Structure 1
Amino acid sequence: MKHNNVKIMPLGGQAEVGKSMYSIEVNGKIFIIDAGYRFPDLDKLGVDIIIPSFDYLIERKKDIVAIIITHGHNDVMAALPYLLNAIQGVPVYAPNLTADLIEMMIDHYQRHQKKNLHMELIRVNRDESIKIAGIPVEFFPETHSIPGSVGVAIWTPDGYVVYGGEFIIDFGSPEGFRCNIQKMMEIGKKGVLALMVESSGASNPGYTSPNHKLTNKI
Structure 2
Amino acid sequence: METLTKNKILIVEGEDEKRFFKEFLIFLGIYDVQILKYDGKNNLKNKLKVWIRDSNFKNIIAFGIIIDADNNPYTTFQSVCDILKNVGLNSPQEMYIFSEGIPKIGIYVMPGNFKEGMLEDLCLKTVKDNPLISCVDDLIECANKLYKEGKVKEFFGKYDYFKSRRFYRNNFLNSNGKIKNIAKARALAYLSIMPEIVNSVGIGAEKGYWNFESEELNELRKFLENFR
- Does the TM-score normalized on the shorter chain lie above 0.5? no
TM-score when scaled to structure 2?
0.31
TM-score if structure 1 supplies the norm length? 0.32
Higher strand fraction: Structure 1 or Structure 2?
A: 1
Structure with a larger share of its residues in helix: 2
